[in-house]
Amino acid sequence: MFKRLEDTEKRFVEIEEKLSLPEVMNDQDEYRKLTKEYKVLSPITEKYREYKTWQKNKAEAEELLEIEEGEMKALAEEEIVTAKEEMEKITEELKILLLPRDENDDRNVVVEIRGGAGGEEAALFSYVLYRMYNMYADSQGFKTELVSANETELGGFKEVSFMISGEGAYSRMKYESGVHRVQRVPETEAQGRIHTSTVTVAVLPEAEEVDVELNPADLEIEAHRASGAGGQHVNKTDSAIRMIHKPTGIVVECQDERSQYKNRDKAMKIMRTKLYEKKLEEQNSALASERKSQVGTGDRSERIRTYNYPQGRVTDHRIGLTLYNLENILNGAITPIIEALAAADTAEKLANGEF
């Protein structure tokens, strides 16, 4: 571990020097790349230097212990105890900082919500989750942008796709992938029986152009009129875009913008993201099969959470967390859940010695 820390500090100093060079400052791509790496290495280097300061203090106190008597000796002994405690504490903090970092954590995300079992009730809960994530994103200073929506007559969503933009969006939202179950009495239920419905959420890290090589010849693009139950998603011009990637069969639709050009540009971003996700799935399949915990794996087929309306309860099944705070959570207050999932993911990695 300490060899890695030494190498990290050396690399940090190297980047620090490079960032002041005129040729690097004039090369925007290189400057951006080094700045990003500098930002990642900075907290590790800072914490390691703090460790070395306490290490030095301990060594000096141990020297004093051999030559001093009385009060000075007692102070030296006290300093050694304090230094040991601080070094132990910082060592644990360094283990967390050295955990493998998800390279996608700083990216924007594409969120797809689809109604599962439960028909109209599932579609209505899809809207509830869409609203919850929009309110959460707003509380974090993130920007949301609708991509496409297939609405129902009662105001639900058969499926809805939207983007969340902001630094660290994926690091916060990645734990939301999976099956969300809702238990409540539908408004159309005359006898007051509780129904169980499911909604599937997929969170994809937005791809950059350099991540995926997209050949225009592989794309089939169609323009059509936006469809839906009414409202903002229906227009009278062929501005909606359907994009098909012929080699994989992946289909992307974008219909929120009035401009066909804007919809086409947005659809291209989503297509890159879906192809990037496919690439990541292939790369990570071996790793995913080795991990026992489902925290952070983004498995869409797994039931991850239940929202029980009669009891005002939300339970995350991956970590056994239950909160009796349903209304606030559905109004976007999901930070306690996300932080608990992140902590569990970190604990699992530490237990596996991944630092």
Residue 14 is part of which domain span? 2-97
Which residues partner with 222 through β-bridges? 242
| 138 and 10 part of one domain | no
Please say whether the beta carbons of 150 and 253 come within 8 A.
no
pLDDT tens-digit map of 45-98: 999 999 999 999 999 999 888 887 888 888 999 999 999 999 999 999 998 888
pLDDT in tens, 159-187: 999 999 998 899 999 999 999 999 998 87
Q: Both 34 and 137 in a single domain?
A: no
Same domain as 143, residue 230: yes
Quick: pLDDT tens for 306-350.
999 999 999 999 999 999 999 999 999 999 999 999 999 888 888
Q: Are residues 220 and 307 in the same domain?
A: yes
Q: Three-state SS for 285?
A: helix
250 and 311 inside one domain: yes
Mean residue pLDDT of the chain comes to 86
Q: At a CB cut-off of 8 Å and minimum separation 6, what does 22 contact? A: none
| Structural domain ending residue among the three candidates 97, 126, 149 | 97
- At residue 159, what are phi and psi to the nearest 5 degrees? -160, 150
Give the span between the Cα atoms of 13 and 248, in whole angstroms. 45
- Band the pLDDT of 298: cuts 50, 70, 90: very low
Q: Which CATH number goes with the domain that contains 268?
A: 3.30.70.1660
Same domain, 205 and 290: yes
Angstrom distances, CA of residue 349 to CA of 70, 79, 151, 205, 294: 47, 33, 41, 21, 12
Name the domain count of the chain.
Answer: 2
Same domain (yes/no): 135, 280: yes
Q: CA dist 71 to 57, 63, 81, Å? A: 18, 15, 16
Model-level pTM greater than 0.75? Answer: no
Residue 159: CB atoms within 10 A of its CB come to 17
Of 65, 97, 129, the domain-final residue: 97
